[in-house]
A = this chain, B = another copy of it.
Amino acid sequence: MKYPTGIKQQTKKVTNYGNRGMSLEEDINITNAYYREQDIAVIYKKPTPITITKVDYPNRKEAVIKEAYFKTPSTTDYNGIYRGKYIDFEAKETKQNRFPLSNIHAHQITHMKQIIRHGGIGFFIIRFTQKNETYLLEGKTLFEFIERETRKSIPYTYIQEKGYRISEKLNPRIDYLTWIDKICFEGGKS
């Protein structure tokens, strides 16, 4: 289909304004900053875990890391507090029409099970980038799938059915806490 140049550009602009081009991580960081500014919740992304092997340290203020390696994370990426509750989640994007479980490390599963057992709220945020759809999936729902199934990926339809679609808006960009309100404080989907 061919549009006059002007209209095409406008469509493109509107789409950019929405969400395309922003990674899920950026969207969540912006959302968490909004939650903090509005004093709704205090949730942060943890820094990327690394092992530092070489540092140039001429003086206290000018240290430069000259060699370091990425470590496999033993916990999830995000945690914090909301309505007095401990919150813990991992966020992943996939280009595929299913969610490959290889995206989640065994350590992270163990960690989240521990968190839930101790009374915390644990979940996943999964984005299908081709569809531009983002879902919240409760930790227990993912664990049920792993225990019952031998498949190495969760089908899109399973997540669509058992998860909670997070609609994207301007501010907060992906308002996942409204689902946490419904699931954990009001008791379930609807």
Contact = CB atoms under 8 A, between A and B. Distances in A.
Interface in A65-105: 65-70, 74-75, 79-86, 88
A75 B84 CA distance: 18
Interface stretch (A19-27, A40-48, A130-138, A144-152): A40-48
Interface in A43-58: 44, 46-50, 52
A63 B119 CA distance: 37
Contacts of A111: 42
Nearest to A111: B42
Interface residues of A, number: 37
A114 interface: yes
A114 B36 CA distance: 9
Given A42-B115, A65-B69, A120 B49 contact: no
Number of copies of this chain that the complex holds: 2
Given A47-B50, A64-B67, A65-B70, A42 B114 contact: yes
A122 B135 CA distance: 32
Nearest to A117: B39
8 contacts: A39-B114, A41-B118, A47-B48, A48-B50, A50-B50, A50-B68, A65-B65, A66-B66
Interface of A: 36, 39, 41-42, 44, 46-50, 52, 63-70, 74-75, 79-86, 88, 111, 114-115, 117-120
